[in-house]
Amino acid sequence: MTDHYGLIGYPVEHSKSPIMHNQAFQLANIDADYQLFAIEPQNLVTGLSQLVHQGIKGLNVTMPFKQAVVPYMDEISDLSKRLGVVNTISIKNGRLFGDTTDGQGFWSTITGTPEHVIIIGTGGAAQAIIASAPAYSQVHVFNRMSNRFTAKADMLAPLLTEPLHDLTTITQYLSTADLIVNATSVGMQEEASLLSPDQFALTPPQAQVVDIIYKTSDTPFVAAAKQAKRKAMDGLPMLAGQGALSFATWTGVFPDQQRMLAVISKERRN
């Protein structure tokens, strides 16, 4: 009997998750499939309840539900409890267990031991990355100044060893940065990169640059970093990393993360 898994969110049509999970099920000889479930925000409770009633075994959760699903979990991991977000749900005997694999999935893609890390953004993904950072990494977090800046700073304070920084002050931190991360959605539309090629050129030559979003071509952030001859990647490796961890949580089998990345990268090129 085929087990069913999937992704809930709104919208979800753009997601590459079914391609990588269905290949992983096939390679592991597991009789299962992975589907997309577009649930409008006002229908979250009924949509989730219907999926559980239909016997679904596990779900990934994307925007706008990572925080909204938390009250409906029967159990929750310590990290999810700390962050107030869930991106992976395991369902057994009608009980829902929530966890988050975003942070670990991100760090599984990073090479070396970056000691000075710059993260731009304060959302759920940014928080997961900050909370999962290695002990040897000093993390500096930046956000655009707005009327919500103080509230965001207060929210992040338990995760940080220093105050939240105004994005306009970032240049003075670039000369020692080993890793620079755009953990915002800026670049999904036609916005300019949050950092210019000239700013990326101030970083050490070996600095790594990551944009957690992905498009059919380079994001503006990645393009600007490459223009400055810096090693840069978008969010597809993180997608494969968190997906591999979700897969292992559900099945007890850890899939080949590089093959998951390869299949979604190939799909993007087509």
Can you say which residues are annotated as belonging to the binding site for NADP(+)? 78, 212, 235
Angle at 122 between CA 116 and CA 124, to 5 degrees: 110
Query: Which residue among 66, 215, 226, 229 is the active-site one?
Result: 66
- Residues in CB range of 134: below 8 A, 6 or more apart: 107, 113
Pairing of strands 138-143, 88-92: unpaired
Number of neighbouring beta carbons within 10 Å of residue 269: 6
Number of neighbouring beta carbons within 10 Å of residue 256: 14
Number of neighbouring beta carbons within 10 Å of residue 99: 21
How is the chain split among helix, strand and coil, in percent rounded to 5? 40, 20, 40
Told to judge if 152 belongs to the known catalytic residues of this protein, a careful annotator would answer no
> What is the rounded CA–CA span in Å between residue 235 and residue 165?
24
Query: What 3-state DSSP class applies to 76?
Result: strand
> What is the rounded CA–CA span in Å between residue 266 and residue 270?
7
* Largest interatomic CA distance in the chain: 58
- Annotated binding site for shikimate: which residue ranges? 15-17, 62, 87, 102, 214, 242
> What is the rounded CA–CA span in Å between residue 19 and residue 206?
33
Contact 80, 86 (CB under 8 A): yes
- The catalytic residues are 66
